[in-house]
Structure 1
Amino acid sequence: MKNILLLLLLPVVLSYGQQPSKPLRIGIAGLSHSHVHGLLGSANRGEIQIVGIAESDRALAERYLKRYNLSLDLLYPTLDEMLAKAKPEAVTAFNSIYDHLEVVKKCAPLKVHVMVEKPLAVSLDHARQMEALAKKHNIHLLTNYETTWYGSNHQAYRMVYGDKSIGDLRKIVVHDGHRGPKEIGVNQEFLQWLTDPVLNGGGALMDFGCYGANLITWLLNGERPESVTAITQQIKPDIYPKVDDEATIIVTYPKMQGVIQASWNWPYNRKDMEVYGQTGYLKADRSTLSMQIGDDPIQQKQFPAPAFDNPFVYLAAVVRGTEVVKDTDLSSLPINVIAMEILDAARQSAKEGKTIRLKKDKK
C-alpha cells in the first residue's frame, strides 16, 4: 500500500519531447464535425497556424470564421484547391467519417500528414486502405480522441503496468455517450451525417463505441481480441430511424474480457472506464481516478491532463519530430486499425445475431 500512495503523489508527466518552435501549417478538411471548434479556438497558439480551410458549405464556413475572427481568405471550396494553394504540412479532417479515406487519398501522395477525428474510418476496408496509403507515402496518420487527453486514463495505465498495482487485468468496462446528438443540440450539419448509416457507419455503436475499442486496445498494448459480440437497439426510432442509438459490445481475450457500453440514451454526458485486476479496481473519469486495492478503502485522486493537452499541438510535435508516436499509443495507426476491426466485427455481430471470431494474426 505504501508504494501505491507514493505513486499517487507523483506528478503526471508523460514522456513527451519538447514542443516545436516553428508553427505547423495546418489545413482543415471540412467544418461539419463540431469538434472543429477545438482547433478553431486554438488558431492563435504559437505552435500551429491554420493556413487553409476546405468547405463547400459557405454559410457554415462564414458562420464559424466570423465566430473565431478568422479571415475568409482561408476558405477554399475544395480540398484539392486548398492543398494546391495553401500548401499545408498537415491536414485535420472534420468532415464525415466516410470522407476520411478521400482526405488521405488526396494528402498522402503530397506527403501531407493527416489527423482525423475519431474513429479512424467508416469501415475496416476504409481503414486498411488508409493504412496502406500512409505507409506507402510515409506520412503520419493519427486519430484524435478526447479521452486521449484525460490524466486519469494515463495514470490508470501506469498503475496497471508501472508497479502492477491491481494485478493481471481481468475486465475493462468503458461507458461513453450522452442523451443523444439531437437532444444535446449538435449543429444540423453534424447531425445530418452523424445519423446516416453510410456517412457515419452507424449510430451510437460507431460514435461512442470507438472510444472503448481504442482504450481497451491501448490498455492491452495492441492485442487483438479473440471474439466480438454486440447487441444494438433503436430505443428512439422516431428520432434516429436509420441507425442504432444503443450498443453493447463484448470483446474477449485469453484471460480478460472487455465491455463497451455506447449510448445515446444516458441521462448525462459520460466518458469513463472501470479497470478490474486480480487484486484491485480503478475507475478513470476525466481527471479523477478512484481506486481500491485489496480490502483497502476506496481512494480518489485528481490527475491533470498530460503534457500535450491539445491534440493539434501534439500533431505539430509529431510532424516536427520532437515527439515519437509508438505503435501502442492511443493516437497511433496500429491501435486504431484494431479498434476499427472491433467495430466492424461488432456491426456484423449485431446484424447477424452471433459472436464473430477474429482470425489470428499471420505471424
Structure 2
Amino acid sequence: MKPIYIIILFLLACVVGANAQDKRPLSIALAGLSHDHVNLIMDHYKKKEINLVGIAESNKELVNKFKKSAGIPDSLFYDDLKKLLQKKRPEVVMAFNAINEHIDVVRICAPLKIEVMVEKPLATTVKDAEEIAVLSKKYNTMVLTNYETTWYGTNQEIYKRVKKGDIGDVVKMVAHDGHEGPKEIGCSPFFLDWLTDPVKNGAGALNDFGCYGANLFTWLMNNQMPVSVYAVTHQIKPAVYPKVDDDATIILEYPNATGIIEASWNWPYSIKDWEVFGKTGYLQAVNSKTLRTKTNKTAYEISEVASPQVPNQSYLAYVTAVLRKEITPGDDLSSLANNIIVVKILNAAKESARMGKKVLMQ
C-alpha cells in the first residue's frame, strides 16, 4: 500500500475515533443532592444517558433516598467532593447544593481544571461571584449556570427576532417568574431547608425567581450593566417564610430601556414568561412553546415555536457540546460573564429594598 493511502486511512480512523468519543455519555460527578432539580439528572442516569462517576453528599438520609429511588450503588457515594475527585476524574462537576456553597465547589474544581455547572443563580454575593471569575480565569476552567428558561424555544426566538430588528429598538422588558410557593408546591424538606435561608440562598423569591429576568435582560442587553436598580420586597406569608422575602419587584434602568422583574412565591399558579416591547412591535414568551406577537399595525398573533435545535434544547446536551468543543458559550445565558452581572443585579436589589431607594450601578 502506498504511503499516501496509509496517511489517508490513518486520518479517517482519527476522525471516526473522535466522533465515536464525542458520542459517549458525558462523565459527571455531582456536588450535593439537596437541590430538587437533581431529579432531572437522575432521570438521565436511569436512562443511561450519562456516566455518573460519583456523588459528594454528607447527608446520609439524602444518600439513602437516592440509593433507593435511582438505584445508585454505594460505591458512587463520597462524604465530600475532595475525596471524590482524588479517586475520579469527571468531565464536569454539577452542583446541586445550596447557592452559597457554589464557591466551595469552584475552589475545589478549578485548580484541578475540572469544569463546573451550577444551578441558578451563580452565587449569593458579589464577592463570591468575583472570586469564581478569578478562579475560572486563573485555571482556565469554565463555570456555567443552568436556568430552566435557557432551553425555552420561545426565549431563543425572541432573542433572534430582536437581533434581526423585527420589533425595533427595545424600550421595555417584563419578566414574570413565580408560583404558589416552594412549600406549597411540595419541594422536599432538604431543598426547603436552604431555599428559605437568607444566607444559604441569599434571599427568598428575589433570588430564586428574580434571577430569571436578570439573566434574560442581561442577555438581550448584550451584557450591559443597568444604570440603576430599584426593588420592593414583601413577606406576604411570614408564618410560612419568616426569614426571607416571598415577593419582589425589581426595576432595572438602562440608558434607553427599562426592565421590570416580578418574582413571587405567592401567585395562584406557576408562570415563567417574558415580554419585550420594541418601538415597532411586541413579543411575549407565554411559556416554553407559545409565542405572542403584535406590531403597531396588526392584532395579537399566537404561534407555537418549534423545540430548540441541538444542543440548545437541554442543559445536558449543551454542556456536552461545550465540553466536547462543538460550541463555545460566548456571552450566552449560561456564561460566567452574564451571571456575574445577574448576581450584581440581585445584590443591588436586596440593598435597594433594605434602604428604600434606588442603587446606582455605574
TM-score, structure 2 as length reference: 0.91
Q: Which one-letter code corresponds to 2:316 in the other structure?
A: F
| Residues in 1 aligned to 2:199 and 2:21: alpha-carbon distance in whole angstroms | 38
Q: Determine helix, strand or coil for the equivalent of 1:301.
A: strand
**Counterpart residue type for residue 300 of structure 2:** I
String of CA shifts for 1:230-272, please: whole Å, max 9, x gaps: 0001111101110000000000011100000000011101100
Of 306, 312, 320 in structure 1, the residue corresponding to residue 324 of structure 2 is 320
SS in 2 for 1:184: coil
Could you tell me which residue of structure 1 aligns to residue 338 of structure 2? Answer: 335
> What is the aligned partner in structure 2 of residue 356 from structure 1?
359
Number of the residue aligned with 2:252: 251
Match of 1:125 among 127, 144, 148: 127
Q: Distance in 2 between matches of 1:30 and 1:155?
A: 34
2:291–2:305 contact (8 Å) kept in structure 1: yes
* Structure 1 residue aligned with 2:28: 26
Structure 1 stretch displaced more, 312-321 or 349-358: 312-321
1:66 pairs with 2:68: yes
Bigger drift between 96-105 and 19-28 goes to 19-28
Q: Which residue matches 2:183? A: 182
Q: CA RMSD in A?
A: 1.6
Query: For residues 297-348 of structure 1, what are the alpha-carbon distances to aligned partners after superposition, in whole Å with 9 as ceiling and x for unaligned?
Result: 1111111332432212211211111111112x00000001011110010010
Tell whether the 8 Å contact from 1:232 to 1:247 is kept in structure 2 after alignment. Answer: yes
Specify every segment of 5 or more residues in structure 2 that has no aligned partner in the other structure, as ranges.
Answer: 1-18
Moved more, 247-256 or 285-294: 285-294
How far 1:24 moved relative to its partner? Answer: 2.3
More displaced 10-residue stretch of structure 1: 305-314 or 238-247: 305-314
Partners of 2:61 and 2:276 in 1: CA distance: 45
| Mapped contact 2:230–2:353 kept (Cα < 8 A) | yes
Contact 1:20 1:320 in 2 (8 A): yes
- Which residue number corresponds to residue 167 of structure 2? 166
* Separation in 1, partners of 2:183, 2:33: 18
Distance of 1:19 and 1:222 partners within structure 2: 35
Residue 46 of structure 2 contacts residue 70 of structure 2 at CA under 8 Å; is this kept in 1? no
Which of 104, 107, 112 matches 1:110? Answer: 112
Equivalence for 1:152? 154
Cα distance change, pair 145–19 in 1 and its aligned pair in 2 (3 A): farther
Relative to structure 1, is the Cα distance of residues 308 and 19 closer, same or farther in structure 2, using a 3 angstrom cutoff?
Answer: farther
TM-score, normalization by structure 1: 0.91
Match status 1:277 vs 2:281: no
**Quick check: 1:118–1:145 contact (8 Å CA) kept in 2?**
yes
In the TM superposition, residue 112 of structure 1 has moved relative to its aligned partner by 0.6
Rounded to whole Å, the distance in 1 between the matches of 2:21 and 2:318 is 8
SS at match of 1:321: coil
Asked if residue 215 in structure 1 is aligned to residue 231 in structure 2, the reply is no
Tell me how far apart the structure 1 counterparts of residues 20 and 261 of structure 2 sit (CA, whole Å).
35
- Relative distance call for 1:294 and 1:261 in structure 2 (3 A) is same
Kept in 1: contact 2:102–2:123 (CA 8 A): yes
The 8 Å contact of residues 48 and 313 in structure 1, kept in 2 or not, is answered as: no
Aligned length: 341
Partner of 1:193: 194
Within 5 Å, which residues of 2 pair with 1:256-271?
256-271=257-272
Matched, 1:91 2:93: yes
Q: Which runs of no fewer than 5 residues in structure 1 stay unpaired?
A: 1-16
The aligned counterpart of 1:309 is 313
Q: 1:134 aligns with which of 126, 136, 139?
A: 136
Deviation at 1:208, TM superposition (A): 0.3
Distance of 2:172 and 2:284 partners within structure 1: 12
1:107-144 Cα offsets, whole Å, 9 max, x none, are 00000100000000011111000111011000111000
Percent of residue pairs identical? 50
Aligned-pair distance for 1:46?
A: 6.3
After superposition, the C-alpha distances for 1:270-317 in whole angstroms (9 at most, x for unaligned) are 100111001111110211110001120111111133243221221121
Is 1:18–1:323's contact at 8 Å kept on the other side of the alignment? no
2:228 is matched with 227
Deviations 1:32-73 (A, max 9, x none): 000011111112566631110001112212212321222222
Structure 1 residue runs of 4 or more that deviate by more than 4 Å after TM superposition:
44-47
Of residues 317-326 and 300-309 in structure 1, the stretch that sits farther from structure 2 once superposed is: 300-309
Residue type matched to 2:192 in 1? L
| Cα distance between partner residues in 2 of 1:46 and 1:314 | 17
Letter in 2 for 1:271: K
Residue type of the partner of 1:340? V
Q: Equivalents in 2 of 1:118, 1:135: separation in Å?
A: 20
Contact 1:140–1:319, Cα closer than 8 Å, also in 2: no
